[in-house]
Structure 1
C-alpha cells in the first residue's frame, strides 16, 4: 500500500467472488457515508432521512446510477462509525444478491463517481493496524483464522488474534527494560549509595528469559507438527489394497485402483480433517525389490515418507501367505489385514500368528470391497489422532516470529558472554537494545513498509 492512500476511501467485495446467495461490498474511509446519500434508498424507496445508527442493519435499494431512479438491486446496509469499527474509520457494508453483474456495476459506479478506489489486498486490516485497532500479531491472526484448515489450527489462530503471543512479548519487553535499567544504573549512579541487583541475579534473569524463549519455540514446534498435518503412511506390497483403503478413508477416488501390480509408482498424498485435526494420508509405492529405475525411486521416496509419519498402516493381502516383514522406522505400525472377505480361516490364522510373533503392533481385519472392519478402523484412528493432539497446545509461530525470537536469544547469549568478559555496561546495554528491537518488530511497534507490505499482501482483497 502506498503511504499517501491512508486518507482515501476504499471498496472491495468481502465475500468470495462468483455467483451465490449474497455478496457483501465493504467500504472504509471518510466518504463511506457519501455512498448512502448518492446511491442508496431506504426500503420504501426514499432517501435515508435520519442519521444511521451504528451497528444496525437497514433494508435498502441500490440505484443503478447516481442520477437515475432505476433500481439495480435490493439489499441490506450496515454502518459502523469511526473509531468503533474494524478499521477505526467509517465503514459501510452493503449486502447484495450474489450476482457478479450487480457487484461489478455497483463498485464501478462508486469508484467512477464518488472518488472511491478499489482496496489493495489486506488493506482493511492494514488500516486497522495503522489506526491502532490491532497490533501486527493480531493482524496475522486474522489471516490465519481465514486460512485455517482444521479446528485445531483455528484454535491456534484465535490465540494469536486474541493476543496470547503479544502478552508474552510484553512480559519479555518489561523484563528487558528492567535489565537495561539495572545495567545503565551501574554507570549513571555508580558513585551513589544505592543498592542494585547483583550480577548473579541479572545473569539468572537473562537465563530465565532464554529458557522462556526456548519453551515458546518448542511449543510452536509441537503445535506446528499438528497444524501441518499428522501424517499417516499406507505401506505394503504391490496390490495389497493400499490405494483402495485410501479411497475408502477419503470417501472418493483419489488413487488409481488396478489389478496390475505396481500401479502406484510414487507416493500420492491427500489432506483431510478428522476429529478436528488435519491429517495427511500418503499412499506409498508398493514395497518390493525391482530393477525398474522409476519403481526403485518410488520405493525410496516411500520409505522417506514413512520416516516422516506419525503412524504407518501396513496393508497386508490376506489372499496370500505371510511374507517377510519390511523394516519399518521407529513409529507406531498398524497391520491392516485386507481382503478378509476372500481369505480362508487358515490364512487368516497364519497372518495373525505372523504379526503377533514379531511385535505388539495392532491388527485390524478389513475388506475394502465389502467395507467390513472399516468403521472399527476409523474409530481407532480417531482415538489415535485425539491422543496425539491431546497433550499438544494449539500454538504456532510464523517464520517471522521464529526469526525474531531466535535473534532475541542470540542477543541475550552475547550479553551473557559480555558479562563473563566483564565488558563495559554501555556495551552490554547495546545487546539489550537489540533484543528490545526484536520485541518491537514482532508486535509491529517497530516496522518497515517492506515488512508490512509482505505481511498484508497475502490477505484476500476484502480483508
Structure 2
C-alpha cells in the first residue's frame, strides 16, 4: 500500500500548517526529514531538512502507531510554521521519496473506513461536521461522528440475529433446549426493533433540515414590507425595496443562523391579481416555495385583513410595515426595527420545537435502509403469525432486514456509494 501525504489544514498563510502522512513508510519519512523518530503520541520539536541537508523548517512532529491513528495505519503529523513557502517546500521534498504520493480527496478518511476506525455513518458525520456552520449542525454531526447511529444499528442487528436464530432453531433443531413455541419472544423482538426504526425514520426529514437549513418564507400582498423586513433580519440590503407594487419578481434567499439553527429566509413576490406575465410567474413561484417552506411569516397590512394564503399550524400572521408602532402586538417594522426581536424569537422557538424531533439518522440513504428493514420486518412478523410452516420465509425476511441495517453503517452493498461520499471531502481529510 502506498504511503500518502497532504496538507491537512487550510491552504494559505496561517500560524500553523499541518501536513499529514499515513502508510507503511510514515515513520521512515519522519526519520529521513528529521534524523530520528519521536516517541509515539508525543509532540517533539524537530528540525526538518531536505536531501541536501538544508533546513526546511523547525516543526512539531507527532507519530502514531498502527491502530492508534485516525487512519488506523502508521501515521505522522508535521506541524509547520504556516508559511506558504514552507508548506510548498516540505510537500515538494515529500514528493521526491519513493513510495510516497499525494493523497486524493478524502483518502485519509477512506482508509479509516477500510481499517474499521469509522463506519460509513461516521464518515458522513465527519463530512457534515466539516461543513457545519451553526451550533445545531455541529451537535448533530458530532452525535453521528461519535457512532450513535452505528451503536443503534448494532443493537437492532443483535436483536434481529437473536430472533432469526430462534426461528431457525425450530427448523433445524428439535430438542428440549429449544422452546416449542418461540413466536411470542420473536414477535416481541420484532415489535421493539420496528418501533425504534419507525421513530428514526420519522425524524430523518428534520435531521436533514438541520443539516441543510430550515426554510422560512415571508409572504403577503405587495407593499406590506416583506423586502424591508428581509433586509432588517439579514442586516444588509439583500432585496430591492420600492413603493412600486411588483418590485420583487423572484424568490430572494438569505441564509442566517437563528438560535444556532441554519435558516434560509425567502422573500417572495407580492401576492395579488395582475396581468403582468413576469409577475404572474413570480407569484406562482412564491406560492410554490411558500407551500414547501417549513414556516411562513404571513404579513398583512392591518388587523382584520384576511391573509392572502391560508395559514398552517405554526405559521406567524404578522402586521407588516408598522413603522409608527401603533400595533405593538404581532406587528413588525423593518424600517424602525420595531418587533424584530420578537419575530426572531418567535421563529426560533417554532423551529426549535421542530428540531427536537430530529433523529440520529441524518441522510436520505439512512432513511432508505431503515425503510427497507421496516418493510421486511413487517413481512417477517406476518409470516411468524401464520405459523411454524412459514418459519423459513420469516427467517429470510429477518436476514434481509439485517443486511439493510448492515448497509446503513457500510458493512455491505455500499461500494458504489463510496466515490460519491468521499468526493465531498477536501484533500488532506
Task: Name which of 421, 431, 449 aligns with 2:397.
Answer: 431
1:275 equivalenced with 2:259 (yes/no): yes
Task: Name which of 25, 29, 34 aligns with 1:31.
Answer: 25
In the alignment, what sits opposite 1:411? 376
Distance 2:392 2:301 in 1: 72
Further displaced range: 95-104 or 289-298: 95-104
In the alignment, what sits opposite 1:327? 309
Q: What's the TM-score once normalised by structure 1's chain length?
A: 0.83
SS for the counterpart of 2:232 is helix
In the alignment, what sits opposite 1:15? 9
- Per the TM alignment, residue 156 of structure 1 is displaced from its structure 2 partner at its CA by 1.6
- Per the TM alignment, residue 450 of structure 1 is displaced from its structure 2 partner at its CA by 2.7
- Per the TM alignment, residue 223 of structure 1 is displaced from its structure 2 partner at its CA by 3.2
In the alignment, what sits opposite 2:320? 337
Distance 1:268 1:25 in 2: 41
1:52 equivalenced with 2:19 (yes/no): no
After the TM superposition, which residues 19-418 of structure 1 pair with which residues of structure 2 at under 5 Å, given as runs?
Answer: 19-40=13-34, 47-48=35-36, 51-63=37-49, 65-69=50-54, 71-190=55-174, 194-316=178-300, 325-331=307-313, 332-338=315-321, 340-341=323-324, 348=326, 363-366=330-333, 368-389=334-355, 391-393=356-358, 395-418=360-383
SS for the counterpart of 2:255 is strand
- Per the TM alignment, residue 117 of structure 1 is displaced from its structure 2 partner at its CA by 0.6
SS for the counterpart of 1:56 is coil
- Per the TM alignment, residue 284 of structure 1 is displaced from its structure 2 partner at its CA by 0.5
Q: Are the aligned partners of 1:313 and 1:336 in contact in 2 as well (CA < 8 Å)? A: no
**Post-superposition, which runs of at least 4 consecutive aligned residues in structure 1 deviate over 4 A?**
191-194, 321-324, 420-424
Kindly tell me the number of residue pairs found equivalent between the two proteins. Answer: 427
- Per the TM alignment, residue 214 of structure 1 is displaced from its structure 2 partner at its CA by 0.9
Q: What's the TM-score once normalised by structure 2's chain length?
A: 0.89
Q: Are the aligned partners of 2:199 and 2:359 in contact in 1 as well (CA < 8 Å)? A: no
Distance 2:77 2:182 in 1: 59
Against the structure 1 CA distance between its residues 197 and 66, is the aligned structure 2 distance closer, same or farther, given a 3 Å change threshold? Answer: farther
The one-character-per-residue Cα deviations of 1:256-298 (angstroms, maximum 9, x if unpaired) are 2334332210111122111111112110111111111221121
Distance 1:288 1:434 in 2: 54
| Alignment gaps of 5+ in structure 1 | 1-6, 41-46, 353-361
- Per the TM alignment, residue 92 of structure 1 is displaced from its structure 2 partner at its CA by 1.4
1:461 equivalenced with 2:427 (yes/no): yes
| Alignment gaps of 5+ in structure 2 | none
- Per the TM alignment, residue 443 of structure 1 is displaced from its structure 2 partner at its CA by 2.4
Q: Are the aligned partners of 1:152 and 1:394 in contact in 2 as well (CA < 8 Å)? A: no
Bigger Rg over Cα: 1
SS for the counterpart of 1:280 is strand
Against the structure 1 CA distance between its residues 217 and 383, is the aligned structure 2 distance closer, same or farther, given a 3 Å change threshold? Answer: closer
Distance 2:162 2:306 in 1: 64
SS for the counterpart of 1:255 is coil
Q: Are the aligned partners of 1:78 and 1:92 in contact in 2 as well (CA < 8 Å)? A: yes
Further displaced range: 187-196 or 242-251: 187-196
Q: Are the aligned partners of 2:201 and 2:359 in contact in 1 as well (CA < 8 Å)? A: no
Against the structure 1 CA distance between its residues 309 and 122, is the aligned structure 2 distance closer, same or farther, given a 3 Å change threshold? Answer: same
Aligned residues: CA RMSD: 2.7
